[in-house]
Amino acid sequence: MVSTHPTGVQHSGSQYLPQRHDTKANPSPNQELLPLTAKVHNHDSLEIGGCDVTTLVEQFGSPLYILDEETLRSGCQQYRDSFKQYYKGESQVLYASKAWNCLAVCAIAASEGLGIDVASGGELYTALQAGVNPEKIYLHNNNKSREELIFATEVGCTIVVDNWHELRTLLEIVESANSPSVHPRFLLRLTPGIECHTHEYIRTGQLDSKFGFDPNELEELFTFVSKQSFLNCVGLHAHIGSQIFERQPHRDLAALMVKWLRDAAKYGLKLTELNVGGGLGIKYIESDDPPSIEEWVKPICEVIQEACAAENLPLPKLLCEPGRSLIATACVTAYTIGSSKVIPEIRTYIAIDGGMSDNPRPITYQSVYRAVVANKMSSPLTETVTIAGKHCESGDILIHNALLPKTEPGDILVVMGTGAYNYSMASNYNRLPRPAAVVVANGEANLILQRETYEDLIRQDRLPERLKGASSFGRFIIYGKM
């Protein structure tokens, strides 16, 4: 039976293409299922960034992450321009690079005027190597090592201090440096106690969270910081979670942060920055209805400006740190379909050449995705199948009950919205090499992440001398050849 919309109209993979209307000339990427440049050419083939997806797989192999540069740039521009339009003070958008941190993504975001939010020394190093100005880099996380804090201090990025241990460690580092020029800039991360409807693993604003100073200790915290002449506290940070569609929690957070700003002033702290975090959700499936980027930015700006006016405070530099809403929809993952298994009256499994090692979100967060067959975009959706990964785990299921056309081995399956937390959380489970990634623009594809090889998998392995020779035959076989 041919699948239909509720209206009874037959549909195909083309239904997922970006909807461009006269009233929506510049669509918000987080409200689309496929990248903004996605279209069907030759009646049946999916094209992204002017590149045929099936041809990309032939050239670069699969699984393959395909990043659409135009979609990423559009999201960066919409955040940047919305703050300029609705906020009267200074603003700075930071890309939360934990969503996908690599040289090319950091470079694209920075070229659009964004700073980079990093969550480790490794992400900091990558951003610096991508040419990002350290003055636009902010280091986060809840258990920064002494080495990471020293690294951040030496390069001159801003540190978001999460707890007392980090604060005291940072003070020790500065005092031991014995240099009058070392005054690291930092923000204090506070837990706002604001909850929102999202997966419990990605909620960060509730009081029972591993992140941030408890708001009940603000008096002690502000008193302590005000007495540290070697430290340069410039602002406050808070974050309430990820994949959020509600607008009110962000309004509540903005208002609360201005009150904290007022309270800090009572202790002589002249704070000039407020970072309201990120968290705007994206459209993973048809029923998802997230606000646009502009609809997220506007009320936050309005609340902060009204609250500062009421408290007779100067407008702070306003920062935010979107990740998923910038990068997720900009990327798809292309797989090659292999085996299938039909269990009569129960389900049909379709297996792909990747799975939980390149996208661990379904097995970790029960995340849902949509998929199309790149070489059969105009074919009716006649089958309901379960998309299975190739890993030795029963739970390695990418999509349950996916509507697809009739498929065959060799068809190219494209899973949408995979830019956030796919490559960044990828693993070598079952010793699968991590996939390649390309960025596409104007009909040109450029490799941004090399596909790993079997040799890469053992590059860090070490074989003790006493074990050498025990299986010498196997060590000299490469792809079945001596």
CB-count burial class (<10 Å; 0-12, 13-18, 19+) for 183: middle
Name the amino acid, one letter, at 58: E
| Rg, the chain, Cα only | 24
Rounded distance between C-alpha atoms, residue 170 and residue 173, angstroms? 5
Structure-token pair, residue 446: 């450029």
Return the residue matching tokens 């968290």: 279
How far, in Å, CA of 317 to CA of 87, rounded?
10
Task: Please report which residue ranges of 320-460 form alpha helices under DSSP H.
Answer: 324-327, 361-365, 454-457
Range 168-181 burial, b when 16+ CB lie within 10 A, else e: ebbbebbeeeeeee
Whether the Cβ atoms of residue 159 and residue 233 lie closer than 8 Å to each other: no
Residue 460 makes CB contacts below 8 A (sequence gap 6+) with: none
392 is catalytic: yes
| Cis-peptide into 63, omega within 30 deg | yes
The residue from 157, 196, 320, 392 that is catalytic is: 392
Active-site residue list: 392
